[in-house]
Amino acid sequence: MNFSHGAVYSNDGRTRFRVWAPHSDEVWLVAENDRWERPLGAEANGYFSATFDDCPPGFLYRYRLDEGAPLPDPASFCQPDGVHGPSMVVDHHFSWQCEKRHDEVSLGNLKDALIYELHVGTFTREGTLEAAAEKLPILADLGITAVELLPLSAFPGDRNWGYDGVFPYAVPACYGTFATFRRFVERAHDLDLSVILDVVYNHLGPEGNYFSRFGPYYSERFKTPWGAALNFDGPHCDPVCDFFIENALFWLRECRVDGLRLDAIDEIVDTSAKPFLESLAEQVYELSRETGHPHVLIGESNANDPRFIIPRERGGIGLDAVWIDDFHHALHAYFTGEREGYYADFGSLRHVKKTLRKGTFAPGGYRTYRKRNYGRDFGAAHQEQLVVYTQNHDQTGNRPKGERLHHLIGVDRAIQAAALTILSPYTPMLFMGEEYAADQPFLFFTNHGDPTMIKGMRKGRNKELREFGWREKAPDPQDPETRESCILDFADREQGVHAQVFAAYRSLMHLRRQAREMRLLDHDRMTVTADEQGHWLRIEYRRQRKWLGVVVNTGEKPLGLGDILEGEAGEAIWAFSEERFHGNWRETTAAAHATIVFASL
């Protein structure tokens, strides 16, 4: 393993320690329990390093900067005793058994991707990577092609979403080890599933964060909604950029992850001529070229800014794809009737229709919620570069009670939203449990140990909810029962309405694969029509004699389909809220809130 930071154990039994501490005159390696201290040698640009032959895997250590108290390693690969404890040397040598990863399992250009977002801690009762790996065959059978994990950066306590991580290189001990994570990746690849890892490069969590003690990791000019911004463009920024780019390469190269989802990239403030994100994209491209295996970078951004996915050679950042919140907002506001916060600019079938056509709504137009013109048209962007969803961890978990979409509008209407998403020309993503209408909510939860931190977190959380317009009280994030109530029960998918929803999702995903193979789900072949009174909406695709259409009856009464389909040929091959059937569309009536799929494939 060839990295500039951290404790790297090599084949010859020696461990090299290297840390960036530009404001320190001396740096000492401190063995746990103060058994001994040894100096690290100074290098150029504020680095210190040394190599020892008696610090094997399992060795616990900290760094002492000048005369200060010993601190854990910012590039720690393991924190066995929590974020305030010592760091541990890890042996990263791993015997990979699955060889599919290099020649068969690939996200490629995302055209065939069906992404499934999951949180390891609530995906199973055990809340571990090992237990999550056991469920992967269910997702493969469903038709998922890529599993996206919420962040694995070590965080305080044993329950957290992962966005409060303070050790970007360390798997949370409550989830497992690097060996169990690699086995998770290997099991996924064995099932032809790609793995995407969520990483956070816009901020670091507050508790257990010792970065500022080591050097100017933070900007003195910018803030984020979560505190100080990372220093990607100020004095001493180069080592900071290197630290996080190497972190990305570590997950991709050493753990064989296929792609990264970059959290809230619109909150990364960087005025450099060559921004951090562009350098990251360049380095990942070089890794892909070196290994022959394409790696994908997906940015989360609500800025509606196409520059993130414009190729570097054309002056863009060069990411492969970006999340599109407008798609979610348009469907959610229409189906739920909610108009608070950012839903204020959505709500009609017209919004849904336009967003289905363009991926975003009113690019560059005025947004009431933001009180300014907002976004740009994505224009020539490839359709698969836009990742769309009706549910995700944020949109569900940032509600006071963590309700899923079917909790708000019922199963029938949630299936309508799912059909419009899965059979859209964009790259669809599901949120864990959505595929069988899980009873469990997904709530915000933490396990901080610092009383001051806990008080500030609760206050900030309540403030956020009030600003959005919610007045109801949310469960206490610190209460263990809050996390406990979110744990999925996969046995539910085999019974009652859950089994019906699971079958519906499987059918929709099978149809998407069929249509993709026929090159039918193409944005240029798509038409979207809707009833002016808001009773129904239809999307359809045509290529030569192939045809696929979806009709959703959004009204409260049964709806005859003859007028909607205007004499088109084709069979009604699937419906939700009615019996499964094959039949001529002329004889078909859609029940209230029914979803009907028509095709000639």
Tell me the domains of the chain and their CATH numbers.
6-88 (2.60.40.10), 112-507 (3.20.20.80), 525-600 (2.60.40.1180)
Per-residue pLDDT at 578: 56
Q: How far apart are CA 308 and CA 299, in angstroms?
A: 8
Q: Which among 303, 54, 73 is positioned nearest to 202, based on CA atoms? A: 303
Helix (H, G, I), strand (E, B) or coil at 478: coil
**73-110 residue pLDDT tens:** 999 999 999 999 999 999 989 888 876 554 556 677 78
Q: Which member of 73, 164, 186, 300 is catalytic?
A: 300
Q: Residue 582: its pLDDT value, please?
A: 45
**pLDDT tens figures, 193-252:** 999 999 999 999 999 999 999 999 999 888 888 888 999 999 999 999 999 999 999 999
CB atoms near residue 404 (< 10 Å) = 22
pLDDT of residue 4: 84
pLDDT 10s digits, 217-233: 999 888 888 888 999 99
Residue 280's closest CA among 265, 293, 301? Answer: 265
| Cα gap 367→344, rounded to integer Å | 9
Among 159-168, 449-458, 492-501, 591-600, which is the least confidently predicted range?
Answer: 591-600
Helix, strand or coil, per DSSP, at residue 331: helix
What is the per-residue burial (b if ≥16 Cβ within 10 Å, else e) of 77-87? bbbeebbebbb
Alpha carbon 437 to its chain centroid, in Å, reads: 20
pLDDT of residue 100: 58
What CA–CA distance (Å, rounded) separates 230 from 226?
11
Q: Note if 394 is an active site residue.
A: no
List the structure tokens of 472. 């109801």
Cite the DSSP H helix spans in 522-591: 562-565
Name, in order, each residue with C-beta under 8 angstroms of 507's C-beta and a sequence gap of 6 or more.
Answer: 574, 597
pLDDT exceeds cutoff 70 at 332: yes
Give the integer Cα–Cα distance in Å for 244 and 168. Answer: 8
What angle is formed at CA 79 by the lines to CA 456 and CA 484, rounded to 5 degrees? 55
Q: Output the pLDDT for position 99.
A: 62
**Radius of gyration, alpha carbons of the chain:** 25
pLDDT band at 532 (very low <50, low <70, confident <90, very high): confident
- Residues 6 or more apart whose Cβ sits within 8 Å of residue 102: 291, 292, 293
Query: pLDDT confidence of 570, banded at 50, 70, 90?
Result: low
For the beta carbon of residue 41, count every other beta carbon within 10 angstroms: 11
Whether 300 sits among the annotated catalytic residues: the reply is yes
Token pair, residue 138, equals: 């269910």
Structure tokens at 332: 């959610």
| Confidence band of 473 (pLDDT split at 50, 70, 90) | confident
Most confident range, picked from 11-15, 406-410, 454-458: 406-410
Asked if pLDDT for residue 367 goes beyond 50, the answer is yes
Give the per-residue pLDDT at 222: 86
The predicted-structure confidence for 172-187, as pLDDT tens digits, reads as follows 999 999 999 999 999 9
Length of the chain: 601
Q: Which of 164, 263, 326, 492 is catalytic?
A: 263
Answer yes or no: is pLDDT of 560 > 80: no
Position 130, amino acid: E
> Where is average pLDDT lowest: 51-55, 131-135, 570-574?
570-574
Is 320 in contact with 396 (CB distance < 8 Å)? Answer: no
Other Cβ atoms less than 10 A from the Cβ of 414: the count is: 25
Report the pLDDT averaged over residues 18-31: 97
Question: How many Cα atoms occupy the beta-carbon half-sphere of 221 within 13 Å?
Answer: 10
For the cut 70, the answer to whether the pLDDT of residue 449 exceeds it is yes
Mean pLDDT of 148-156: 97
Which residues on adjacent β-strands are paired with residue 269? none
Q: What is the value of pTM for the model shown?
A: 0.95
pLDDT category at 518 given cuts 50, 70, 90 is confident
Nearest to 121 by CA among 579, 443, 563: 443
Residue 540 amino acid letter = E
- Are the C-beta atoms of residues 89 and 119 closer than 8 Å to each other? no
Q: How confident is the model at residue 519 (pLDDT cuts 50, 70, 90)?
A: confident
Residues 125-151 have pLDDT tens digits of 999 999 999 999 999 999 999 999 999
**Which positions ≥6 away from 513 have C-beta within 8 Å?**
112, 143
**Rounded Cα gap, residues 80 and 381, in angstroms:** 44
**pLDDT band at residue 581, thresholds of 50, 70 and 90?**
very low
What is the DSSP code (8-state) at residue 35?
Answer: S
Helices (H), 527-575: 562-565
Model confidence band, residue 407 (pLDDT cutoffs 50, 70, 90): very high
pLDDT band at residue 557 using 50, 70 and 90 as cut-offs:
confident
- For residues 271, 276, 278 and 284, what is the CA-based torsion angle, rounded to 10 degrees? 180
